[in-house]
Amino acid sequence: MVATTLNTSKSEEIFAGAQKLMPGGVSSPVRAFKSVGGQPIVFDRVKGAYIWDVDGNQYIDYVGTWGPAICGHAHPEVLNSLKEVLEKGTSFGAPCVLENILAEMVIDAVPSIEMVRFVNSGTEACMAVLRLMRAFTGRDKVIKFEGCYHGHADMFLVKAGSGVATLGLPDSPGVPKSVTSNTLTAPYNDLEAVKQLFADNPDQISGVILEPVVGNSGFITPDAGFLEGLRMITQENGALLVFDEVMTGFRIAYGGAQEKFNVTPDLTTLGKIIGGGLPVGAYGGRRDIMSMVAPSGPMYQAGTLSGNPLAMTAGIKTLELLHKPGTYEQLDKITKRLANGLLAVAKETGHAICGGQLSAMFGIFFNQGPVHNYDDAKKSDLTKFSKFHRGMLERGIYLAPSQFEAGFTSLAHTEEDIDKTLAAAKEVMSMI
């Protein structure tokens, strides 16, 4: 165990109180630090690339509130716009022009999206998109990939990633078998398995949904031809292809992974970045499919807070900042420095690790590699990851508390931040 020198007494006290009030003391499981040991850090404030805990410790943050903070936390332009809009109220439950503005920005940016519906989270977006897949095709089954996470709706809690993988819970009680019997799974990057599922379930599969770059089993990239192959197989079988770009949207590129890999799905889900740190999700795609959504069409889906002015404002400002020339080059450069640096430090200190980055998303596995899918990711040395995580935390580096979550950088991270991170990693890797 890497020695504990960090004073987190206030965090511990608050978390002890939280455990009596909320299941596990948290509002979402991964952040409870269950898989890395120790107690979660209770935050007080965030700014740029940094977070401060309630004991006054400062950390360089590579979680970025799990993705939204791509411009850096509490960006002054985002905050100023929010302050202005706040004066007009927090929710209308009625149309507002800000929805048009964000919708237009999303439609302009994301190749597959011709029409969009705003919701309040990535989970909601994925729930709705699945209903739409079924409504449009008249088929009930769906293919998802092992270790991919599409939120916590019943149909998706089958061999799921993120918190489910982190806590080692294969599936979840409370999810009826009758529901998950329509969820078919294949290993990520395995086109033959997908072809077989289509062959075994003729005219029954509504489509394939995936994270085009996986962030919820750790960071896993698609093999050459995988996304193109899925596009072809779905088309041949009259099924839909859906990219869950809740993590990758506006992160891998302004137009998401679909722009980067030049593969256009039929439908896309978004979240995180398009809300600039406020609760937002969205689903969108081909006009003929989206026209099925109520009140245009018969597929019902609704939400009181959907399209609320604050979330729309934070999203609009965040996309404006991201749309400036050079942002993605900057994100790529800084993240490459980090990922390559971590791989080099591991080599120098004799650890078998693999990993990489794409734009502002990265990950390493304590695993010889290569990692093509969740089964490969599971071969990682989780004890070593925990020690690494703790050692980094002690040195003021906040990483996702799970081997099965990707890391995120932002426009606020500097070369100096990366170099401090690498120096800390060298110290820790020399000790574990």
Coil, strand or helix at 40: coil
Inter-residue contact 208 to 242 (CB < 8 Å) = yes
- Considering only residues 50 to 89 of the shown chain, the ones binding ligand HOZ according to CB under 6 A are 66
183 binds ligand HOZ (CB under 6 A): no
Query: Is position 272 annotated as part of the catalytic site?
Result: yes
In angstroms, rounded to a whole number, what is the distance separating the alpha carbons of residues 125 and 127? Answer: 6
216 binds ligand HOZ (CB under 6 A): yes
Respond yes or no on whether the N-terminal peptide bond of residue 29 is cis (omega within 30° of 0): no
Identified binder of ligand HOZ from the candidate list 28, 196, 235, 262, rule CB under 6 A: 28
Query: Is position 374 annotated as part of the catalytic site?
Result: no
Identified binder of ligand HOZ from the candidate list 162, 206, 217, 269, rule CB under 6 A: 162
Comparison of 69 and 299: residue with beta carbon closer to ligand HOZ: 69
Among the listed residues 143, 240, 220, the one whose alpha carbon sits nearest the alpha carbon of residue 186: 143
Comparison of 21 and 224: residue with beta carbon closer to ligand HOZ: 21
* 278-297 footprint of ligand HOZ as x/- string (CB under 6 A): --------------------
* CB of residue 393 to ligand HOZ, shortest distance in Å: 16
Comparison of 74 and 292: residue with beta carbon closer to ligand HOZ: 74
How many other CB atoms sit within 10 Å of the CB of residue 190?
Answer: 17
* CB of residue 69 to ligand HOZ, shortest distance in Å: 12
* CB of residue 150 to ligand HOZ, shortest distance in Å: 10
Beta bridge mates, 353: none
Query: Is position 50 annotated as part of the catalytic site?
Result: no
Q: Which residue, chain included where needed, has tokens 């990239």?
A: 221
405 binds ligand HOZ (CB under 6 A): yes
Pairing type for strands 141-145 and 183-186 reads: parallel
Pairing type for strands 361-365 and 407-408 reads: antiparallel
Q: Which residue, chain included where needed, has tokens 């920005």?
A: 105
Q: Which of 149, 188, 328, 398 is catalytic?
A: 149
Q: Which two tokens stand for residue 388?
A: 């690494």
Residue nearest to ligand HOZ (CB): 28
Stretch near ligand HOZ under the rule CB under 6 A, chosen from 23-31, 105-113, 139-147, 221-229 = 23-31
In angstroms, rounded to a whole number, what is the distance separating the alpha carbons of residues 377 and 370? Answer: 9
Compute the C-alpha angle 124/127/133, nearest 5°: 135
Comparison of 30 and 119: residue with beta carbon closer to ligand HOZ: 30
Written as one letter, the residue type at 308 is N
Based on its alpha-carbon atoms, the radius of gyration of the chain, rounded to whole angstroms, reads 21
Stretch near ligand HOZ under the rule CB under 6 A, chosen from 4-12, 24-32, 200-208, 317-325 = 24-32
Pairing type for strands 354-358 and 361-365 reads: antiparallel
* CB of residue 156 to ligand HOZ, shortest distance in Å: 12
Contacts to ligand HOZ by CB under 6 A? 28, 30-31, 66, 162-163, 216, 405
Q: Which residues are catalytic?
A: 149, 244, 272
